[in-house]
Structure 1
């Protein structure tokens, strides 16, 4: 069930009405309804994997309690590592087993040892990377005595399986979401209105921007050997806006839907393409994942403490693991490695935290410098996105090589008989809108809300009618 589907347009109002008018007596009945709705939402993808979600939920619920009750450090460690190993084991089997088996067999074959790997014929359970990280952060926090174990199974189950964030985040923390689940929610009309506005804006990003860019980006990446330099550059830009509109659009919808139920989720995007350097980009892009790796991997490894080589080592580990988290393909690892290389000069010059303030432009030379920094950072990001989008590292390298070697800069018609002009104008307008609202969390709310909603809905209906691209990119992760 996609957020941009007719099924969800029916599902959401039903759950909303039941939540506020039938199951509104106390927080337990509200939470129970949301669990039922969440399990139904998840089972619409593949009901068989619902058992995996339930097992993961029970595992972390039980081990969390045992860790807290443990009378000795040995006992606490046993339950802690049991949860870690089982969680990562399931993630490894479903997501990475075939990758490692195929890569190892290729290595042996290249050495003259002929082997045929035993591969698993299973599909990746949707959302497994996200709900696994929910559970891991919960168990780690209990083990480090940052939080107490949750003894109410309904509350904990909802924390893991809450449908707005279940399949593509944001990756929530128990310290943020669980306290909200333990109190009865009262309907807040203003908050619900903000939620609707955020849902509509998320759909604009997905249907109008991401899906349209996907049509063009796919046509260019699929035929890159025959495309000229200008089209290939546009292809990289189109994919950059596709993945941003797709994923940040999903996050906006998730946050907006959650506000309808009186719950606040973590902000996941903060206008990342206006970043002045790569460090700022990663503070603004997929914030919940970046902060997760910072708190549960980077800092435990030593963080920025120690010598420069420790910092470099930890930085490269974080980016490589982040790349690998996205998928079982060498292209994702290459993407993470490239971002680590981008980060390297900032780390050496100790300037990775220079741009912590809000962006302000004035009519002076410093503003020119800011604009150049933003454009340069975006260009670097697009180069990295080529590796993220390409099927193989070879394809990514040849794509970039074609940009340099072709040296033709003219508008081309694509294989789907479309010109690039219209989309260039659309992206430019979208960028101007984003720039104007860059300090807002709910872009449509505020002055002239009715007019903004009308225009947004009209755009969604107009572009959605012709769109044949429905899936969200991050569902595969």
Structure 2
């Protein structure tokens, strides 16, 4: 069930909200759990058993880790948890990738397994892992109430696409959370803004990218237009989903961490990754990079740590070699920045730094978007005139004009300009009154526009279901 669907917006969500706010406080987590399980079951009826099993095993490992915490064998249940969680993720997400590579490298004929990728497995597996690792480190307390633990893992606002929520961040709110009109109003506004980013911007950009993929009139300029469209699409698709998750969480009394912080205004690749998919970056930092020594080791070991983290970041996104190369591409850029470019970047004008970052980021999403190495090679050759195609033609100009307004709005919306203007106006009494008057009108108009698009049956994919 997509957040950007009529059935979610006008059937599932109103019913859940009605039940949630009607029942007494002690039953609210139960309503959230049942709703979340139904939400997942609606889209993944078979793999709901897998998620429930993962929750049960994560809960039991937590009790085991807590019981053994002062024992000389304290590490044993933590290792068991890692093996079980990662083993499940590898089996369901990477089995066919491994089989294909074994067949290709060793000329074998191992049959491909009939396994579909369970939606959200990468997210809920990492949440269970972070809980058990934090328990082992004594950074959090064991949760003995399985209802609370199951609610934490399966909470539908962030179940299928994050952000990756740490147990320690919501531990207190699982048992004691406050609701208010202000929080609900903020949550609704944040949700609708995220929904609008996804439906009005990401979906329209996705349409253009789809048109390009089906076109027989490709040009160098069209390759750049398509790649930029995909870069913006994946940003609005995923950041929009994160906004919706954060907004829904706030309605139910949870405070999820921010997952995007205007990454396209970055002046270095290092800064870009502090602003893009923040919950994933901090997860790998805290549970992989720092335990290996982080940057407090020799230069060679630091480079090793960077390569391992970014190999894992790449493969986390999907079981294809292009994702591995995408991760290693960023590893190389981060190493070069640290060792060579930082002093140069510090002396350059900010606008040059922005151009440098966006050029490399757009190239990265050309790698990310390819369906296999062959297609990645074709895209990169197309971008730099390596194919026997014209620089541009009338078809390219037509689509550039047709989607020009969408591009302009998307580029402006990817910056903090609107936020800055609102904050500035809020410093004045009259400005504050205007914002208070206009905000509910703008939010209502956005919801009507989104509803119109969805009723019309417009193009409505969700990219992160692929990962």
**TM-score > 0.5 by shorter chain:** yes
Give the equivalent residue in structure 2 for 1:403. Answer: 383
Give the equivalent residue in structure 2 for 1:360. Answer: none
Say if 2:139 is the partner of 1:146: yes
Distance in 1 separating the partners of 2:207 and 2:152: 36
Q: Match of 1:419, SS?
A: helix
Q: Is the Cα contact below 8 Å between 1:268 and 1:288 reproduced in 2? A: yes
**CA displacement, residues 237-275 of structure 1 (integer Å, 9 cap, x when unaligned):** 000011111111111111111111121111111111111
**CA displacement, residues 15-69 of structure 1 (integer Å, 9 cap, x when unaligned):** 1111112x2x22x311011000000000001222111111111111111111111
**CA displacement, residues 338-357 of structure 1 (integer Å, 9 cap, x when unaligned):** 111211222214849x99xx
Distance in 2 separating the partners of 1:97 and 1:411: 44
**CA displacement, residues 148-178 of structure 1 (integer Å, 9 cap, x when unaligned):** 1111111111110000011110000011012
Q: Is the Cα contact below 8 Å between 1:208 and 1:464 reproduced in 2? A: no
**CA displacement, residues 107-154 of structure 1 (integer Å, 9 cap, x when unaligned):** 112xxxxx2112210211110010000000000011111111111111
Q: CA deviation at 1:222?
A: 4.6
Give the equivalent residue in structure 1 for 2:104. Answer: 106
Give the equivalent residue in structure 2 for 1:413. Answer: 395
Task: Specify whether residues 305 and 227 from structure 1 end up closer, same or farther in structure 2 by C-alpha distance, changes over 3 A only.
Answer: same
Give the equivalent residue in structure 1 for 2:7. Answer: 7
**CA displacement, residues 351-387 of structure 1 (integer Å, 9 cap, x when unaligned):** 49x99xxxxxxxxxx9x92122112211111101011
Please list every run of 5 or more consecutive structure 1 residues that lacks an aligned counterpart in the other structure.
Answer: 110-114, 356-365
Out of 56, 64, 67, which is 1:66 matched to? 64
Give the equivalent residue in structure 1 for 2:429. Answer: none
Give the equivalent residue in structure 2 for 1:173. Answer: 166
Give the equivalent residue in structure 2 for 1:255. Answer: 246
Listed as ranges, the matches of 1:26-425 within 5 Å are 26=25, 28-70=26-68, 73-109=71-107, 115-183=108-176, 185-223=177-215, 226-349=217-340, 351=342, 369-405=349-385, 408-410=390-392, 412-413=394-395, 419-425=399-405
Task: Specify whether residues 204 and 106 from structure 1 end up closer, same or farther in structure 2 by C-alpha distance, changes over 3 A only.
Answer: same
Give the equivalent residue in structure 1 for 2:439. Answer: 449
Distance in 2 separating the partners of 1:438 and 1:107: 52
Task: Specify whether residues 404 and 222 from structure 1 end up closer, same or farther in structure 2 by C-alpha distance, changes over 3 A only.
Answer: same
Distance in 2 separating the partners of 1:177 and 1:248: 21
Say if 2:455 is the partner of 1:475: no
Distance in 1 separating the partners of 2:238 and 2:285: 21
Distance in 2 separating the partners of 1:242 and 1:281: 17
Deviates more, 1:255-264 or 1:445-454: 445-454
**CA displacement, residues 86-108 of structure 1 (integer Å, 9 cap, x when unaligned):** 11111111000110011111011
With normalisation by structure 1, the TM-score equals 0.89
Task: Specify whether residues 350 and 200 from structure 1 end up closer, same or farther in structure 2 by C-alpha distance, changes over 3 A only.
Answer: same
**CA displacement, residues 194-234 of structure 1 (integer Å, 9 cap, x when unaligned):** 111111111111111111111111232455x8511111011
Task: Specify whether residues 133 and 439 from structure 1 end up closer, same or farther in structure 2 by C-alpha distance, changes over 3 A only.
Answer: farther
Distance in 2 separating the partners of 1:150 and 1:71: 14
Distance in 1 separating the partners of 2:342 and 2:212: 36
Q: Is the Cα contact below 8 Å between 1:298 and 1:315 reproduced in 2? A: yes
Q: CA deviation at 1:418?
A: 6.6
Q: Match of 1:47, SS?
A: coil
Q: Is the Cα contact below 8 Å between 1:221 and 1:390 reproduced in 2? A: no
Distance in 1 separating the partners of 2:62 and 2:284: 21
Q: Is the Cα contact below 8 Å between 2:227 and 2:365 reproduced in 1? A: yes
Distance in 1 separating the partners of 2:21 and 2:445: 29
